[in-house]
Structures are given as C-alpha cells and as structure tokens.
Amino acid sequence: MSSDVLPARHALLALLVVAVWGTNFVVIRAALDTLPPLLFAALRFALAFLPAALFVARPGVPWRTLAAYGVLIGAGQFGLLFVAMRSDITPGLASLVIQTQVFFTIGLALALGRERMKPVQLGALLLAASGLAIIAWHLDASVTPLGLALTLAAALAWAAGNTVAQRAGKVPILGFMVWSSLFAVPPLLVLSLWLEGPGAIAQGLSRAGWGTALAVLWQSAGNTLFGYGAWAWLLARYPAATVSPMALLVPVFGMGASAVMLGEPLLGWKLAAAVLVMGGLALNLLGPRVFRGAARGPTS
C-alpha cells in the first residue's frame, strides 16, 4: 500500500503514537520523583531489550553499529535528558527543546560532507534558533542554564544516533531499537553506580511502587515497542513525507500534557518559543516539498 494520504484509521494510529511520545515526558517526570535518573534510564532499556529480544529478530547489521547506537541513545540522549528533567527543565519545555535534534542531525551531515546546506534549511534553523533564544532569555525555575544545556546535549546525542542509524541503511526499526537497547544498559548502570551511588539506587528501588513500575514499563512497552513498532509499520506502507509531519505534534502533546497534568503554566514566552521552534521544524520538513511544487507550477 502506498498513498500520499493516510486513511482515517491509520491517521488515528499515527496520532496515537505521537500522543504516547509527547505525554511520555510527564510519565518521565513522575518516575523521577522516585528513581535516580540514570538508574531509571538503565531500567527503561533493560526492559526494552528483554523479553522483546526473544520475539524480535536481530537486524542484519554489525554488533558495533548496534553498540554505537545503544550508547548514544541510551547514555547520551535519555541519560542526559532524564538528568535534566529531574529538576532543571519542565516536561513541556523538554519535549520542545529535544526536537532540535533535527538541526543537529543536519549539522552532522554537513560536517561529515554528506550533505550541503539548502537555503530552506538555513531559514528553518534560524527560525528554531530564535525560539531557543527566547527560552534562554527566560531562564528561571522552569528551565535552568544546566537544564537547557543538558537537553541540547541530549538532542546532539540523538542526532549522532540518527547518523549511525542512517549509515546502517534500511533496517527494521523495531529490531534495531530492541537489540541496540542491550548496549545502553551497561554504561547507564556504571554511570549510576559512579554518580548516583549504591545508596541512592537502593533507596530509589525500595521506594518504588506500582506507579513507578508502570512508568518504567511504559517507557519500554509503550514508548519503544508500541511507538516505534507502529511508526515503522506506517512507514512501511506510506511515504515518509506522508507520515513524518505527524511528529511535529509531539511537543504539542508534551506541553499540553504538562500543563493539564502537572500545572506547568503556558506563559506567552513559552508559546512564542514553541511556535518558532515548531515553525522551524515544519519549514525544514515541509518546505522543500512546497518549493518543489511551486517551481513546477500549476498543472492542467
């Protein structure tokens, strides 16, 4: 099946996936009240690997590729993000800032000589950067300098992981996520023991109840297995240009869920920053298609 338009039921599936990914930031924040962030990340990837690895085949890529991706996404993206979200950035802003991975991915492609900057990409980058500048200008309890820096570093690690995945070629995304999770666990556990300490780990595990267990399970089963599995299923049936724009709604769900469930205020400057960052993301994603269509002119 291939179409430029998603049928209603598949559009709802894509919407459900981005809703899971967006509201997941609130789930993360709740679990961080109990578990140290690096330990939480280690548990997330441990459950993403087992028992799923018993049912999901390992993709046909070298072990070193899986290891590189697992370390970058595990210790890099989620380790840094969870540390930032413990007390230095709100879930809503985290869901927005982390999306700058798109521009870091472009930057890495430029640095490696694989792509050249297009005018529309430069415009998109400047638009998103102006949104980040608004956030940096309003550093307060909702986002500290450390929180902004850590979240941007997490976005850079995500972009580096994207580069590894792109070099791996076309592989089953669900299997790639499951089997790379194996390599995320050891560095996260080592960092947790070193930086958080056995005492904090033992205290966090002793305080963990059903709510914390469900939050960890949601990270692996909901966010990873369902989210990436359903997304891969959609991408296998429709062009990426049809499915990918739905991901622009992740910060909408992230900021909305944080406002409704945690009472995070949606101040004017946050909304302005969100419009600029998401506008930059939309321009980068949709701009080339719009300009190509305009260049072709009307058809009859």
pLDDT in tens, 209-227: 999 999 999 988 888 888 8
Single out the residue of 97, 46, 70 nearest to residue 164, CA to CA: 70
Which sequence spans correspond to the domains of the chain? 8-101+145-263
Which of 91-105, 129-143, 257-271 shows the lowest per-residue confidence on average (mean pLDDT)? Answer: 129-143
For residue 28, what are the contacts with CB-CB under 8 A and spacing of at least 6? 40, 81, 82, 85, 91, 215, 219
Q: Higher confidence at residue 34 or residue 299?
A: 34
* pLDDT value at 293 more than 60: no
* pLDDT value at 296 more than 60: no
Calpha distance 20→231 (Å, rounded): 12
Calpha distance 224→73 (Å, rounded): 12
Residues 182 and 49: beta-carbon distance below 8 Å? yes
Calpha distance 65→156 (Å, rounded): 18
The angle that helices 268-296 and 250-262 make with each other, rounded to 10 degrees, is 160
Cis peptide leading into residue 245 (ω within 30°):
no
* pLDDT value at 158 more than 50: yes
For the segment 46-82, what is each residue's pLDDT rounded down to a tens digit? Answer: 999 998 999 989 999 999 999 999 999 999 999 999 9
Looking at residues 92-115, what average pLDDT do you find? 84
Calpha distance 94→154 (Å, rounded): 10
Q: State the first-to-last Cα distance of the chain, in angstroms, to the nearest integer.
A: 27
Q: What band does 119 get if pLDDT is binned at 50, 70 and 90? A: confident
pTM value is 0.87
What are the φ/ψ torsions at residue 89 (nearest 5 degrees)? -155, 140
Q: What band does 299 get if pLDDT is binned at 50, 70 and 90? A: very low
* Largest separation between any pair of C-alpha atoms in the chain: 72
* Percent share of the chain, pLDDT over 90: 50
Q: What band does 283 get if pLDDT is binned at 50, 70 and 90? A: confident
The angle that helices 210-217 and 8-31 make with each other, rounded to 10 degrees, is 130
Residues 286 and 127: beta-carbon distance below 8 Å? no
